[in-house]
Structure 1
Amino acid sequence: MEFSFKKKNVTKLYLEYTVLFLFLALCIFGTYLVTGHSIIWSKDALNQHLPLLAQYRQAVVNFLHHPGKLNFWSWQFGLGSDTFQVFSYYNIGDIFSYLALLFPAREITRAYQFISIIRMYCVGLSFVYFAQHFKFKNTTILAGTTAYLVNSFLLYACVAQPFFTTPFILFPLIVVQIERILQGGSVWPLTGAFTWMLISNYYLAFILGIGSLIYLILRVTTKYLRVLNYLQVFIKLAFATITSLLLSAIMWIPELIAVSHSTRLGAQFANGLKVYPLYYYLFLPKQLINGDQWSFMFWSALGIVSIGFIALVYVYIHAKKYPLITISLSLALIMLLIPAVGAAFNGMMAASNRWTLLIYLPLAMAICLLVENATSLSHHSLKIISSATGIYVVVLLVTFLFESENDIIIPLLFLITSLLLLWLINFHRLSYPQLWLFGIIVLNAGFNAIYASFPFNGDFSTKMLNRGQYQQMMAMRYGGLDKGLTRTPTYRVSTISQNQIIDVPTIDNDLTSGLHNIDSYYSLQNQYLGDFSTSLQNNQYQANVPLRQVDDRTVLNNFLDVKYLFVQSDGENATKIPAGYFLDQSSTPIINYDSGQPSNIKDKKDFIPTQTNRYKSNNAFPLIYWQDSYIRQKRYHKLSPTERERALASGVVVNRENVTKGMKAANLNNHVYKLKSNLISNRLNKVNPQNLKYTDSEEKYRIELPQLTNSTFRRKLRGSELHIEFSQIKFTPFSMKEQLKYEQKHLQQMATNPGSSVNYKYNQYRYWRYHVLNGSPDISFKINVGSRFGTATINQPKQSTLSFFKQVKNSTLNIGYYAGGLPDHLSFQPTKLGTYQLKYQVVAEKLDDHYQNQVANIKKHGLQNIKFGRNQIQGTISTSRKGILTSSIPYSSGWRATVNGKAVKTVRTNQAFLGIPLSAGTHQIKFTYQLPGFRPGLIVSIAGLIWTLVAALISLIMFNRKK
């Protein structure tokens, strides 16, 4: 396998590839269009990729109209965020994003879908460029290109995570340019590839960088170990690396700062996994050729055309001839078995095997080698291939019998057909043998692509938006009730937890209405917001989504300046409205006669309509306001989560306590009442929550609140929000043996009819199979607490949830606000058998006149005459004594402040927000934002550009002298 840099006439090859791509694109994307869908996924594409593309397109247009005027801060990203932090991950370095400039703003959905297709075309183009450096026939190259282009990873990524297609373009280019240097060629192409890699996306650059290093080491040890000019190669590689780092510094320096101050920091390594669940190892062989599947199992997608297995056997038969491919794929297999590897490639976080994008290149090359040498296969080689295939088929059939999923049947048929073709070629029964192999590969790839997107294949196509749906959804994001509201950042909006107005699984970000929703879902989030959420035990906190709807807690909504709530009347938690929010407006009612109606309706007026409701509160804190009372950090940390939340209206916590000298300590007598509680089973047993051994899935529980049976005490707590504060949550799942024992015991207890019999042997297998397929025993569980408002849930995700995994050790559940009397009991239900060690306290947070007076005082001291400019906010305020000007603007080291024109050091208030100390008097306040690391990055990049130009000039002079 020899690289050659001799010039070839490849025009015909690229034309043939273009024709091939048109067919494959029809299979990949055409099915969605035939079934009335778009190629816009209803999760990340809806929440992030498409609206961010629209936002970034507009930002570029604005910059082109007003050069030099960069907007580093946006109020559209949740509470407000650094635009670079968001755009650098998704758009800035993505060259394909700039194709959106060719489309008018109203055609952004067409632009997004067009770009998705162009990306895929470039993936195949990159492999063709790579493969043309070998002595392959055009048919061979196109066969490998088909395998490289159509695989499970890309079939998913091209519509769900489009920028994950970029490394498929970059990796072949980088490999070619490394090889060029090893053969004594120019350093400039590798410098360009490295620069593109570093600019495109820091996360993908990290994966590609490690992959490039592995390739370099393996290539040198297998090919150039004794013939390499090490000094020359080292100098060239060092030049390419250093130059690309200098040129891209304007991207990676601010990115590095953003990552180091994000919620990603401190994630549990590999989500705590030492080994993968049993099902992972059982189904990994199936993953290799199951090209139409979406169960990635820790992103171990694989899923190539079926002949890929035969190609692997072929290259291992000739391992001495192809050491680079065999060693790299053997190494990849070992890496796939160890969660720590996935975590290392994933920035020391979850065990995500996205790094597998690197192994499609050697897999596709193995297919090229098989196709190229199909006519010269010996009988001996074919017998080995047939035996290996027979064993593999048995493994797949056993997998099929165990899992009972028919998604492997068609790949299996293509595998057997490919083997038969090889035998027919060996017996000289086929003319144009390579064309036959190419045909079966294209047919296999096309079928995989169609099957992956066809409606009967389960659910992926149903997760794509219908054509034209995106525009309708964005126009009706709040049921039309946002019309008439001002679009100023001086107030924010939210929804109710699990209450979906738009009919999609989840919609977090709002980048289209112009309103400022507190919910945000991005890969990089402000670390301090995560600290704030964790401090208050926000049950909805996730690293990617730090706030969501803050579990509908009244004080948190008020503190975050949420003036309006939008609620769907037939959705979950529709009645769980925080205190002080009153019905302000409703959409036109629609009556669904077939669902959600009482069974005994006698009059048409009794039908319950469905509508979107807008609730308003007059208790929203100002965006920026003055407080004269402070809370010492030691005292703050001794408070319970509800007391901390309630204290937000009493005073301010600052990270530099020296600035509070001369201020008064806050009065924290805030009417948060602890309630006695008992946990009672439906067997009428009093249960110790610190040792709850849950052995029967039919056992039900209640949290009884005995004090609330007293009418006087209930009246005292009228107008309270009820919380359950879990200071300890520990779950120990039963072993598989224990699990099966308790489930069999339950069946025996249920067999109460005379003559009933339990088939223990059958049920033993049935339950064991269920647990294996579901990865149990595992640490996941749910705890559901029910009330008249619905069900509040603590959710410990599975370790396979990757980016959304969190270790739940404590949490606070908001049961809801009760204007009248609190309930005397709540339902309580764990979902997984095992032992629970729980410590919790039920508390009532009374939101009475005392709270209303505190809010009124805060509103009275809000910053006046607020004006928002590019990267700045300014206003005026008069204060009678020393205090802190605090806010709900996320804190960043990029904020600068002046008071009456004089610079003042900012402080971090209430864990996460921007503030400054303020003396008595009338003040003109101005906050300005500068991207942290932008200036150093710009200086380094300018130096890198000068260095590159000088080096290019020297290189040109030397080249001319040689000529």
Structure 2
Amino acid sequence: MTALKRYWKNIYLLYSILFLLVAAAVFVPYFVTGTSLIWQSDGIAQHFPALVDWRVTLRQLLFDHIWPAQWQWRLGLGADYLQTFSYYTLGDIFTYGVAFVSQDHVLAYYNCSVIVRLFLAGLSFLFVARQFIPRAPHWSLIPATFSYIFFGYTAFAAFEHPFFLNPLIIFPLLIWSLNRLLVTHKTFLFTIIVTWTLWNNFYFAFMMALGALLFWLGYLYATRSWFNWTQHLRLLVATGIGTLMPMVLLLPSLISVLDSARSGKTLANGLILYPAYYYFGLPGNLIANFATPDFWVTGGFSALAVFAVIYALRHWHEYKTFNWVFILVGVGLLLPAFAGILNGFSSPSNRWLFMISLPVNLMMIHFLQHLRRLTLRDYTWFAIVGVIASLSLFIMSDFSLNSRFSPMIALYAISLLLIWSLQHHPTQPGLKALLIAVVLLNVTFITNRNHTNNTNPATSDMLSERSINKLLHGQRDYLPENTANPSFSRVYIDNQLGNATGIAPTTNLPILSQTNNIESYWSVQNKAVNTMMQRLQIAGSSPNDITSNLDNRNILMNVLGVKTRYQNSSTMTPNSYEQNANVSVNHQTAFTSSDSYPLVYLPKYTVAAKDYGPMTATEKEATLADSVVVPGMRAGQSSAFAKQIVSGVIRTDQTKSGQTSLHYHYKTHAS
């Protein structure tokens, strides 16, 4: 019995046991029903194909000592391998183990890595919390740890973008190691964590660097050490070394981002304020998370976390450092420009909110240690915030009395009652255990609430394991037209999920075949290609999916060397492509063109860029058929083919006369 009590007092063992219980409640239904943790959108389009391909590259590197080609034609129209994969796999240390599993087990590896990341995020927080609050009782650490792991951000990221969980592991360690350097002057661990931060992902590194900067300024303010130049120099050197060590991966990544289709956009898309519905939903986001987060406000904190923030604000002077952070976050959530700056000076995205979970749940530990100090006014504010959040959820549910958020409101009220009971009966161990149980139930609801249909194949946003394996093995059936030299042939492969789901482009699956599919769906793509597609007015082209399906245009398909198109039955066929009745792959029919260009050819004419610019999109496409556009040329030639192009009027209504142009008004969701 004594030994059992000793083990029970081991906080890490207790955490591990409780994590298994919560993880089982969240993930076991997926394994039982054969449902993967791969989202039908970015999961199957980006993350899983990247992992499978990375496995091949790693094995070649480790076992055959073959370095991957830097420039690869199989990435869209051609792209740098290091720049493309640095965002998804190269910096993610949790992908390196895939080299030691077979291709048939990559899916299991992907699924398990999600759970492992969550577990390590909890360990990271628990370790750091014990360093910052060394005298905190175990019963206060457990609810804070699980509230840190399972909240709205992870409820979305764990299923949609697994590597987005890595910052939850890194950020607490980054802040702790920075504090350790400032207090003890020991730099080694901070340098290592900075290296890991920058190696992991440049995008999240930027946000975490701003978070660390805020912590450093808070430390200087609290200690009044603004002019401690020795300390500043020590920090600068440690940061510099930590920055240089991952530069082999970081520098190409930064270059690609600065020259990508995403760069140069208007800050926050030009928004001064968010749409009204966003502000109506903010209070509800405190205790619940929406299925599709508006501007990435994932929210969904446990009730105790909300109590802790209110308590801190009510006791301003005692928790001044925490409160300034909470005020800054509150103001930042109101302004699109704030989200745009933290999103790399681009569109307004509040992914940075993952960082607020650290101070919120550290504050929860302080809150649970001071329950005896709660006053009637504290409880009044807890109740008022709960009512406002409930009204917000009611509004965002279109005033439906059958709101899906009812369990979250009920758990908020139950948590409030338990806090009151524990304050008045602090020696009752059963109440502490019950409070922990309610928090675990609270975070389980937060994580599962938006995924209740995921184990039903008819309504799931996740793909079944059977579908994944079928898609994976089906890629080998796509064969290049030029089998002698597949590097010099291009194809277009249509959406392989067809109308089965309707939400996934699945454009990167063909990188697992032997073909060079022209379409690619990566987060960082070349700005020059994007500029070309915008000038040609390719419908469907976006910074993530630049080439798209080339608008199914006949001339452009041929000019870019697309010999074969694997099409779904509902897809329009360009004029020169004829059906190859003998070739059918994954329920897609092959269409081939005898007019497709080789990847290397000599155009007849040179056209000056100044003459090319004023042309219509149709004239520009026709010009590319026999000409090359040369910047800086004063006087070029004219495309013979473009001169033959005749423009016709467009009729969209048989009852009206034809028009030479059309003006579309497209209304979309404000986010």
| Partner of residue 223, structure 2 | 224
- CA distance in structure 1 between the partners assigned to 2:396 and 2:641 by the alignment: 62
Point out the structure with the larger strand share.
1
Query: 1:501: Cα distance to partner?
Result: 7.2
Report the CA distance shift for 1:495/1:420 in structure 2 as closer, same or farther (over 3 A): same
- CA distance in structure 1 between the partners assigned to 2:184 and 2:596 by the alignment: 67
* 1:51 aligned to which of 49, 69, 72: 49
**1:581-600 superposed matches below 5 A:** 581-585=577-581
Q: Check whether the contact 1:453–1:460 (CA below 8 A) recurs between aligned residues.
A: no
- CA distance in structure 2 between the partners assigned to 1:279 and 1:94 by the alignment: 36
| Partner of residue 408, structure 2 | 411
Query: 1:151: Cα distance to partner?
Result: 0.7
Segment drifting more, 418-427 vs 117-126: 418-427
Letter in 2 for 1:261: D
Q: Tell me the secondary structure at the aligned position of residue 675 of structure 1.
A: coil
| Partner of residue 508, structure 1 | 507
- CA distance in structure 1 between the partners assigned to 2:261 and 2:75 by the alignment: 15
Report the CA distance shift for 1:55/1:286 in structure 2 as closer, same or farther (over 3 A): same
Q: Does 1:616 align with 2:616?
A: no
Cα offsets for 1:545-569 (capped at 9, x unmatched): 1111110000011011111112222
- CA distance in structure 1 between the partners assigned to 2:392 and 2:637 by the alignment: 73
Q: Check whether the contact 2:286–2:389 (CA below 8 A) recurs between aligned residues.
A: no
Query: 1:586: Cα distance to partner?
Result: 5.6
| Partner of residue 550, structure 2 | 550
- CA distance in structure 1 between the partners assigned to 2:110 and 2:118 by the alignment: 13
- CA distance in structure 1 between the partners assigned to 2:612 and 2:227 by the alignment: 64
| Partner of residue 88, structure 1 | 86
Report the CA distance shift for 1:481/1:295 in structure 2 as closer, same or farther (over 3 A): closer
Q: Check whether the contact 2:394–2:403 (CA below 8 A) recurs between aligned residues.
A: no
Q: Does 1:643 align with 2:641?
A: no
- CA distance in structure 2 between the partners assigned to 1:253 and 1:169 by the alignment: 23
Point out the structure with the larger helix share.
2
| Partner of residue 251, structure 2 | 253
Query: 1:304: Cα distance to partner?
Result: 1.2
| Partner of residue 213, structure 1 | 213
Query: 1:380: Cα distance to partner?
Result: 5.1
Q: Does 1:40 align with 2:52?
A: no
- CA distance in structure 1 between the partners assigned to 2:657 and 2:513 by the alignment: 44
**1:55-454 superposed matches below 5 A:** 55-67=53-65, 69-133=67-131, 134=133, 135-221=135-221, 223-225=222-224, 230-291=228-289, 293-379=290-376, 381-390=378-387, 392-393=389-390, 396-397=393-394, 402=399, 406-428=403-425, 431-432=428-429, 433-454=431-452
- CA distance in structure 1 between the partners assigned to 2:59 and 2:594 by the alignment: 38
Gaps of 5+ in 2: 1-6
Report the CA distance shift for 1:636/1:588 in structure 2 as closer, same or farther (over 3 A): closer
TM-score by length of 1: 0.64
Q: Check whether the contact 1:28–1:155 (CA below 8 A) recurs between aligned residues.
A: no
- CA distance in structure 2 between the partners assigned to 1:644 and 1:43 by the alignment: 33
Query: 1:407: Cα distance to partner?
Result: 2.4
- CA distance in structure 2 between the partners assigned to 1:626 and 1:11 by the alignment: 76
- CA distance in structure 2 between the partners assigned to 1:116 and 1:89 by the alignment: 17
Query: 1:448: Cα distance to partner?
Result: 2.6
| Partner of residue 494, structure 1 | 492
Segment drifting more, 355-364 vs 482-491: 482-491
**1:451-600 superposed matches below 5 A:** 451-455=449-453, 462-476=460-474, 482=479, 486=483, 488-495=486-493, 500=498, 503=501, 505=503, 506-509=505-508, 510-569=510-569, 571=570, 574=571, 576-585=572-581
Identity of aligned residues (%): 26
Q: Tell me the secondary structure at the aligned position of residue 407 of structure 1.
A: coil
- CA distance in structure 2 between the partners assigned to 1:458 and 1:359 by the alignment: 34
- CA distance in structure 2 between the partners assigned to 1:440 and 1:286 by the alignment: 20
Segment drifting more, 446-455 vs 332-341: 446-455
Q: Tell me the secondary structure at the aligned position of residue 674 of structure 1.
A: coil
Cα offsets for 1:556-583 (capped at 9, x unmatched): 11011111112222x3xx3x21111111
Query: 1:20: Cα distance to partner?
Result: 1.7
Q: Does 1:671 align with 2:639?
A: no
Q: Tell me the secondary structure at the aligned position of residue 462 of structure 1.
A: coil
Q: Check whether the contact 2:533–2:546 (CA below 8 A) recurs between aligned residues.
A: yes
Letter in 2 for 1:543: P
Q: Tell me the secondary structure at the aligned position of residue 171 of structure 1.
A: helix
- CA distance in structure 2 between the partners assigned to 1:343 and 1:159 by the alignment: 24
Report the CA distance shift for 1:69/1:387 in structure 2 as closer, same or farther (over 3 A): closer
Query: 1:33: Cα distance to partner?
Result: 2.3
CA RMSD of aligned residues (A): 3.0
Report the CA distance shift for 1:231/1:557 in structure 2 as closer, same or farther (over 3 A): same
Q: Tell me the secondary structure at the aligned position of residue 672 of structure 1.
A: coil
Q: Check whether the contact 1:508–1:520 (CA below 8 A) recurs between aligned residues.
A: yes
Query: 1:71: Cα distance to partner?
Result: 2.1
Q: Tell me the secondary structure at the aligned position of residue 213 of structure 2.
A: helix
**1:723-738 superposed matches below 5 A:** 731=665
Report the CA distance shift for 1:217/1:702 in structure 2 as closer, same or farther (over 3 A): farther
Query: 1:426: Cα distance to partner?
Result: 2.8
Letter in 2 for 1:654: V
Cα offsets for 1:645-702 (capped at 9, x unmatched): 11122221123549x9xx965435542112245776xxxxxxxxxxxxxxxxxxxx86
Q: Tell me the secondary structure at the aligned position of residue 646 of structure 2.
A: strand
Letter in 2 for 1:447: F
Report the CA distance shift for 1:645/1:359 in structure 2 as closer, same or farther (over 3 A): same
- CA distance in structure 1 between the partners assigned to 2:564 and 2:17 by the alignment: 54
Q: Tell me the secondary structure at the aligned position of residue 303 of structure 1.
A: coil
Letter in 2 for 1:673: V
| Partner of residue 627, structure 1 | 603
Count of matched residue pairs: 659
- CA distance in structure 1 between the partners assigned to 2:455 and 2:409 by the alignment: 17
Q: Tell me the secondary structure at the aligned position of residue 29 of structure 1.
A: helix
Query: 1:414: Cα distance to partner?
Result: 0.5
Report the CA distance shift for 1:10/1:664 in structure 2 as closer, same or farther (over 3 A): farther
Q: Check whether the contact 1:28–1:453 (CA below 8 A) recurs between aligned residues.
A: no
- CA distance in structure 1 between the partners assigned to 2:240 and 2:195 by the alignment: 10
- CA distance in structure 2 between the partners assigned to 1:77 and 1:47 by the alignment: 13
- CA distance in structure 1 between the partners assigned to 2:331 and 2:546 by the alignment: 35
Query: 1:354: Cα distance to partner?
Result: 0.7
Letter in 1 for 2:506: I
Cα offsets for 1:35-79 (capped at 9, x unmatched): 431111111111111111121121122122344744212222112
Report the CA distance shift for 1:393/1:634 in structure 2 as closer, same or farther (over 3 A): closer
Q: Tell me the secondary structure at the aligned position of residue 132 of structure 1.
A: helix
Query: 1:163: Cα distance to partner?
Result: 1.2
Q: Check whether the contact 1:371–1:437 (CA below 8 A) recurs between aligned residues.
A: no
Q: Check whether the contact 2:284–2:391 (CA below 8 A) recurs between aligned residues.
A: no
Segment drifting more, 36-45 vs 614-623: 36-45
Q: Check whether the contact 2:495–2:568 (CA below 8 A) recurs between aligned residues.
A: no
- CA distance in structure 2 between the partners assigned to 1:492 and 1:678 by the alignment: 34
- CA distance in structure 1 between the partners assigned to 2:637 and 2:650 by the alignment: 36
Segment drifting more, 459-468 vs 175-184: 459-468
Report the CA distance shift for 1:643/1:389 in structure 2 as closer, same or farther (over 3 A): closer
- CA distance in structure 1 between the partners assigned to 2:8 and 2:252 by the alignment: 41
Q: Check whether the contact 1:494–1:564 (CA below 8 A) recurs between aligned residues.
A: yes
Between structure 1 and structure 2, the one with the greater Rg is 1
Query: 1:445: Cα distance to partner?
Result: 1.3
Gaps of 5+ in 1: 1-8, 590-609, 681-700, 707-723, 732-779, 782-796, 801-963
Q: Tell me the secondary structure at the aligned position of residue 263 of structure 2.
A: coil
| Partner of residue 875, structure 1 | none
| Partner of residue 932, structure 1 | none
Q: Tell me the secondary structure at the aligned position of residue 647 of structure 2.
A: strand
Q: Check whether the contact 2:45–2:506 (CA below 8 A) recurs between aligned residues.
A: yes
Q: Check whether the contact 2:534–2:541 (CA below 8 A) recurs between aligned residues.
A: yes
